[in-house]
Amino acid sequence: KAGVTQTPRYLIKTRGQQVTLSCSPISGHRSVSWYQQTPGQGLQFLFEYFSETQRNKGNFPGRFSGRQFSNSRSEMNVSTLELGDSALYLCASSPRNPTDTQYFGPGTRLTVL
């Protein structure tokens, strides 16, 4: 089976812009979780989707949003980018429950200038 894929792998944006990141889970996996990784805060949970519904959300401002499509692919969007949004954004999938083993993609490195 192909692993979790994320596109793009690298992004450079300027403050105030918005960005959309994409994640394709492992075939058959229906739960998709997103995490932000920064040197200062480590790995923090953003949100989790299952069957096109957001089941759980972390403590991030409303500028961070996401969605899931019927084929389980997921996107996350960050609007009005701030310098502090520079991070590695990781997507992970699991068959059904986010508390089961999650399989991670390579991440999207976002740099905000």
Partner 1 sequence: AQSVTQLDSHVSVSEGTPVLLRCNYSSSYSPSLFWYVQHPNKGLQLLLKYTSAATLVKGINGFEAEFKKSETSFHLTKPSAHMSDAAEYFCVVSEYGSSNTGKLIFGQGTTLQVKP
- Please give the DSSP secondary-structure letter assigned to residue 100: S
Interface residue with partner 1 among 22, 75, 95, 103 (CB under 8 A) is: 103
- Residue 36 interacts with partner 1 (CB under 8 A): yes or no: no
| Contact criterion met (CB below 8 Å) for 39 and 107 | no
Closest CB to partner 1 among 33 and 72?
A: 33
Q: What span, in angstroms and rounded, lies between the C-alpha atoms of 30 and 22?
A: 15
- Residue 56 interacts with partner 1 (CB under 8 A): yes or no: yes
Least CB distance to partner 1 at residue 41 (A): 9
Q: What span, in angstroms and rounded, lies between the C-alpha atoms of 107 and 7?
A: 8
The number of residues that bind partner 1 (CB under 8 A) is: 27
